[in-house]
């Protein structure tokens, strides 16, 4: 009795298909941020005014970028010097995460927090400020462009493996 060589060739083809499927699945994996806007608000603040925004539409374990920027301000002509300064405090259920004074732009990345986020903004100038508050989900997600192709290659290799095993059976001379 001698084994049929055709079965070994078919099994080799199936192995090449499986290795290629695994390579396509893992080699072309891309990690990129999601960038989904969670909260956006434009508002004006009078001199010495305070605004507080509580954001509940967030999930723990994700990464968020918070930005506060001045879009414009109303200038009092009687003042000789224009100052654009505001105070920002971000806190979660535990405590304050950040507290700072800013001139024109504030950006912060949140990744370790519990519960809803509260953003408090105070106008420290003598002018009315027009502010833009924005919170974006920037959690890194994996994209696998060849995932479906590699799954189909694995499925196609199953009948090829069965055919190779069937062809490897011993034959009488």
Q: What is the pLDDT of residues 38-86, one digit of tens each?
A: 999 999 988 889 999 999 988 888 899 999 988 877 666 666 566 668 8
Domain encompassing residue 71: 32-142
Distance CA 51, CA 98 (A): 16
* Cα 23 from Cα 151, distance rounded (Å): 12
Mark whether 73 and 18 lie in a shared domain. Answer: no
Provide the pLDDT for residue 114: 85
Q: Which residues does the chain have with pLDDT short of 50?
A: none
Residues 92 and 71 in one domain: yes
Same domain, 158 and 76: no
Quote the pTM value.
Answer: 0.66
Count structural domains, the chain: 2
94 with 129, same domain: the answer is yes
Whole-angstrom Cα distance, residue 173 to residue 155?
A: 35
If asked whether residues 25 and 49 sit together in one domain, one would say no
């Amino acid at each position: 009795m001698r084994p049929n060589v055709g079965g070994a060739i078919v099994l080799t083809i199936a192995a090449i298909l499986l290795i290629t499927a695994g390579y396509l699945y893992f080699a072309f994996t891309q990690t990129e941020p999601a960038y989904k806007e969670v909260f956006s608000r434009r508002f004006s603040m009078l001199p010495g005014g305070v605004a507080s925004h509580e954001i509940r539409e967030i999930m723990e374990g994700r990464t968020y970028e918070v930005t506060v920027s001045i879009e414009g301000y109303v200038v009092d002509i009687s003042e000789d010097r224009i100052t654009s300064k505001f105070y920002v405090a971000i806190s979660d259920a535990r405590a304050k995460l950040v507290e700072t004074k800013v001139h024109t732009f504030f950006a912060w990345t949140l990744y370790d927090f519990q519960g809803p986020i509260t953003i408090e903004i105070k106008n420290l100038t003598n002018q009315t400020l027009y502010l833009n508050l924005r919170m974006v989900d920037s959690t890194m997600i994996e994209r696998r462009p060849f995932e479906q192709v590699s799954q189909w290659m694995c499925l196609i290799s199953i009948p090829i493996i069965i055919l190779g095993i069937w062809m490897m059976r011993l034959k009488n001379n």
